[in-house]
Amino acid sequence: MSRLAETYACVPTTERGRGILISGSPKSNNILYTNGRSVIILNLDNPLDVSVYAEHAYPATVARYSPNGEWIASADVSGSVRIWGTCNDFVLKKEFKILSGRIDDLQWSPDGMRIVACGDGKGKSLVRAFMWDSGTNVGEFDGHSRRVLSCAFKPTRPFRIATCGEDFLVNFYEGPPFKFKLSHRDHSNFANCIRFSPDGSKFITVSSDKKGIVYDGKSGEKIGELSSEDGHKGSIYAVCWSPDGKQVLTVSADKSAKVWEISEDGNGKVKKTLTSPGSGGVDDMLVGSIWQNDHLVTVSLGGTISLFSASDLDKAPLLLSGHMKNVTSLAVLKGDPKVILSSSYDGLIIKWMQGIGYSGKLQRKETTQIKCLAAHEDEIVTSGFDNKGFATALKKDWLLICRDHSNFANCIRFSPDGNGHKGSIYAVCWSPDGKQVLTVSADKSAKVWEISEDGNGKRKETTQIKCLAAHEDEIVTSGFDNKIWRVSVHGDQCRDADSVDIGTQPKDLSLALLSPELALVSTDSGVVMLHGTKVLSTINLGFTVTASVISPDGSEAIIGGNDGKLHIYSITGDTLKEEAVLKKHRGAVSVIRYSPDVSMFASGDVNREAVVWDRVSREVKLKNMLYHTARINCLAWSPDSSMVATGSLDTCVIIYEVDKPASGRLTIKGAHLGGVYGLAFTDQCSVVSSGEDACVRVWRLTPQS
């Protein structure tokens, strides 16, 4: 038997220049947000209390609790709305096709009988209100000409609906059946979010023009604004009301959240500006918010969730984070099995603690930003958020940068010295701090360069992570930049990293655990042996390599091929000598792992089969492991070598006992939406898994009698 013990939730999917909409439960401190095709239910009082609804066929965009808290309506990019129960395995009640395009927001009526949804579509089909149980239309919504970003249902009678969107308009509708009453064009940029106060007496809109405007909830007339004094310096993406309707919380691209006091006449004054610790980069822009009882929740572009206390605004926020993309690798520290490291496709490494959850980011992905750019023939002029202007001359294969307009002699040039572009450079932009530039080229690549004080440019390394290995206080990663990185870790901080370029893209990475300086990296046509960051040898094996592993003592390597064969090599110095070839798999080998006692090894293939082998006799020890329905992506052994677990594209994890027939397997169905990509045992009765849904889960195993 198995049970789900802990889920380390993914973070909300975010998009640059767009707000995200999160909602809360009327009965508890649960909040709802979306990532991919999943709807996440997260308890703010206990972040390990996580539930995931994963029945959407397309990426989900928004989810809302019904007023009684018994139902949830969630929408996706296809324009569909699914209504499902919060209990009893999320039973689906209804599904309706509402719009022809993406749904950006939806709201329930206060009686729970109607739902309004808005977004993108064809013609005038940008807003629609319907009965929750039949899908019947309850009005006509004219007046918008472009994508409608937000909608709100007045929480008291007489019912009203207000909408806003990319056409800068705020529209007001009376009903039911609802019909257009009036429209305002008080904003000069996208109107991003609209919300009614809890008593329905007012509603507020916020916009990319940095303004917040308050309207009367019954008539729809403008009654006030948020003060520009100490206001936001960037686009405002989201707004929400306090439970008593006397304050609002706004979040902005200026990386701050502000609490405003709303007077009776509808004007707002800043009460408190809230900031979260961060790098100060683009990822710290705030794009979502909710006021959930005593919790003030903000969400950054990088996905970090900050929890402030409404009763003590001076208290430092609690930070929650996780992965936004597919979690491709897992590692458990041998010295402390409660520490779990996970890496995702976007190059982020997260540290988790069993029983606690999120424990810090060990690596951050760098980004850049530009404000203005103009080009003429072979010159580009740029301006950024550092108050500087730059003139840039473009030639084939190199870039000329002038530090300022007053001294064109103060120019530098950096040319392709192996790390630079191999083709014409077409565009350049500066980072906000003026210390980095981003270039794009005809060689189909973009590169980030660090510009030193003396004006020289050095390429800054940013890459996606494919493989991850950890040993004590060191992390070893490989990615799509042809490099192997070794990073020493102290607490939650990464120290300086060393790298080695192996000249081709790594496919698999394995450490000799008794001598972790020794690493085996497989490439498409062979393997590379490393000692630290020094290449010992590059060996062409004459067949297509798909997986590899090195024994803990570094004396043996097993390499799997596209033909399904396992090649066993002895290692002497920096050379390999083939000792045997094992034939059992009927598809390309996808993963190989030694057992902890090194008496066995296990392999899996793309044809859904796993095999356990005896290392000494090289005979099959456990066969007929054919219970997956798709390729096997990952494999892990229990600490005592008595069990082996496999994870597959079929979303399942299967645990086999080596001394029992494969038919006695334990199957965890639907472990991860989209497939399982990482597996590790933390102890004899606990398995950690990760997958395409960007979540990490801990499973408790109960021995079968």
Q: Indicate whether 574 belongs to any domain.
A: no
**pLDDT band at 419, cuts 50/70/90?**
low
pLDDT score at 381? 42
- Examine the pLDDT at 257 and tell me if it is beyond 70: yes
Tokens, residue 337 = 């099995």
**How do residues 598-633 score in pLDDT, each as one tens digit?**
999 999 999 999 999 999 999 999 999 999 999 999
Domain encompassing residue 90: 9-236
Residue 317: DSSP 8-state: P
pLDDT score at 416? 39
**How do residues 527-545 score in pLDDT, each as one tens digit?**
999 999 999 999 999 999 9
Mean pLDDT over 683-705 rounds to: 91
- Examine the pLDDT at 393 and tell me if it is beyond 80: no
- CATH number, position 199: 2.130.10.10
Looking at per-residue pLDDT, the higher value among 400 and 632 belongs to: 632
Q: Indicate whether 230 belongs to any domain.
A: yes
pLDDT score at 658? 96
CA distance 373 to 381: 6
pLDDT score at 472? 74
pLDDT score at 199? 96
pLDDT score at 279? 73
**pLDDT band at 373, cuts 50/70/90?**
very low
**How do residues 59-78 score in pLDDT, each as one tens digit?**
999 999 999 999 999 999 99
Phi-psi region of 562 (alpha: psi -120 to 50; beta: other; left: phi over 0): alpha
- Examine the pLDDT at 701 and tell me if it is beyond 90: yes
- Contact, 472 vs 465, CB < 8 A? no
- Examine the pLDDT at 362 and tell me if it is beyond 90: no
Task: Tell me how many domains the chain contains.
Answer: 1
Mean pLDDT over 316-333 rounds to: 93
Q: Indicate whether 485 belongs to any domain.
A: no
- Examine the pLDDT at 391 and tell me if it is beyond 50: no
Q: What is the mean pLDDT of the chain?
A: 88
Q: Please write down the long-range contacts of 116-125, taking CB distance under 8 Å and 24 or more positions apart.
A: 116/151, 116/153, 116/161, 117/75, 117/81, 117/151, 118/148, 118/149, 118/150, 118/151, 118/163, 118/165, 119/61, 119/75, 119/79, 119/147, 119/148, 120/147, 120/148, 121/79, 125/99, 125/100
pLDDT score at 148? 97
Tell me the three-class secondary structure of 322-341, residue by residue.
CCCCCEEEEEECCCCCCEEE
Mean pLDDT over 403-429 rounds to: 49
- Examine the pLDDT at 177 and tell me if it is beyond 90: yes
CA distance 549 to 542: 18
- Examine the pLDDT at 376 and tell me if it is beyond 70: no
Tokens, residue 166 = 């990319």
* Residue 130 bridge partners (DSSP): 115, 137
- Contact, 626 vs 583, CB < 8 A? no
Q: What SS3 state is found at 263? A: coil
pLDDT score at 400? 39
Half-sphere exposure in the Cβ direction for 86 (13 Å, CA): 23
Q: Indicate whether 464 belongs to any domain.
A: no
pLDDT score at 372? 37
pLDDT score at 459? 44
Mean pLDDT over 130-144 rounds to: 95
Least confident piece of the model among 110-124, 182-196, 614-628? 110-124
CA distance 472 to 458: 31
- Examine the pLDDT at 398 and tell me if it is beyond 50: no
Looking at per-residue pLDDT, the higher value among 334 and 691 belongs to: 691
- Examine the pLDDT at 420 and tell me if it is beyond 70: no
pLDDT score at 445? 63
Neighbours of 200 (CB within 10 A): 19
Half-sphere exposure in the Cβ direction for 232 (13 Å, CA): 32
Neighbours of 185 (CB within 10 A): 10
Q: Measuring CA to CA, which residue among 157, 510, 453, 156 is closest to residue 331? A: 510
Looking at per-residue pLDDT, the higher value among 376 and 648 belongs to: 648
Mean pLDDT over 432-461 rounds to: 64
Q: Indicate whether 553 belongs to any domain.
A: no
In the chain, the largest separation of any two C-alpha atoms, in whole Å, equals 85
* Residue 1 bridge partners (DSSP): none
**Could you give the C-alpha distances from 301 to 17, 288, 491, in angstroms and in order?**
9, 9, 25
- Examine the pLDDT at 159 and tell me if it is beyond 80: yes
**pLDDT band at 452, cuts 50/70/90?**
low
Q: Indicate whether 171 belongs to any domain.
A: yes
- Examine the pLDDT at 412 and tell me if it is beyond 80: no
CB under 8 Å to 163, separation ≥6 — which residues?
A: 118, 127, 141, 144, 148, 150, 151, 152, 170, 171, 173, 194
Looking at per-residue pLDDT, the higher value among 333 and 569 belongs to: 569
Q: Which pTM was predicted? A: 0.83
Q: Indicate whether 185 belongs to any domain.
A: yes
Q: Indicate whether 489 belongs to any domain.
A: no
CA distance 261 to 258: 10
By percentage, how much of the chain surpasses pLDDT 70?
87
Mean pLDDT over 376-392 rounds to: 41
Mean pLDDT over 296-304 rounds to: 96
- Examine the pLDDT at 449 and tell me if it is beyond 80: no
pLDDT score at 427? 75
Least confident piece of the model among 258-272, 352-366, 619-633? 352-366
By percentage, how much of the chain surpasses pLDDT 90?
74
